[in-house]
Chain A
Amino acid sequence: MSFREMSAWITLTSVLVCFGVYFGSLATGQVRAPSFATLHLLLLCVSALVALQIGLHAVAARFAPRASRMLKDEREQLIQMRARGLGYYALMAGVLALAIPGHMEISKIDLLNFALLDVVVASLVVSTAQIVMFRRGI
């Protein structure tokens, strides 16, 4: 597995875990927005995401020190570009879908959470697309 593919796996799993905890807590009613508990949980999850990303990438770089320092080659750049293109479509679809909760009687905080979910889903689409393209070839 190349360093870039490993990086995509790290991003996918860390985003899934950290925002899974956040949105899972919201969905199950363990925390209720708007509240300081929600804000604190969000800050905790984002901090955990940053720490996980840095830590796991540092570990991955130790296993592939040369690959981690190399610039992306043309295939890796193409994969990144196509994956980001797909992520953009997911983001735009999510923005349009925001009109649905936007027309319902929900708070601005909930609407912000839907927007955050849109960004998270777009990020997951980018990482997943990268992994698929690394595996299947382009």
Chain B
Amino acid sequence: MSRPPIANQIRRLRFEHGEMTQSELAERIGMTRQTVAAIEAGKYSPSLEAAFRISRVFGAALEDVFQWTEVG
């Protein structure tokens, strides 16, 4: 299964925010830890709403958390 061309900085941002765990982030955005792990690993592209929720937790702009990586 091909991965979506979307990179994310969630792992880095979690550690920059007091070493927040995946469970803590999941609880704050109303998702399961497994879904957060899948997003972080690039196995699942979140909906726009979920992406904004994640960005808001870190107080960052959407494009600082998620980046389109496809070349060309």
Contacts and interface: CB of A to CB of B under 8 A. Distances in A.
A74 B50 contact: yes
B1 A75 contact: no
Contacts, number: 37
Interface stretch (A32-40, A106-114, A116-124, A130-138): A130-138
A73 interface: yes
A76 B38 contact: no
Q: Which of B30, B32, B33 has the most chain A CB atoms closer than 10 A to its own CB? A: B32
Contacts of A76: 32, 35
A36 to B, nearest CB: 47
B20 interface: no
Contact of B43 (A2, A73, A138): A138
Nearest to A66: B27
Main secondary structure of the interface of B (DSSP, over half): loop
Nearest to B45: A138
Number of contact residues on B: which range applies? Answer: 10 to 19
Interface string A67-81: 100100111100000
A138 B38 CA distance: 8
A2 B44 CA distance: 16
B41 interface: yes
Interface string B1-22: 1000000000000000000000
B31 interface: yes
B59 interface: no
Given A67-B32, A74-B31, A137 B46 contact: no
B31 A75 contact: yes
B25 to A, nearest CB: 13
Given A74-B47, A75-B44, A137-B41, A2 B1 contact: no
Nearest to A3: B32
Contacts of B33: 2
A70 B37 CA distance: 17
Interface of A: 2-5, 67, 70, 73-76, 134, 136-138
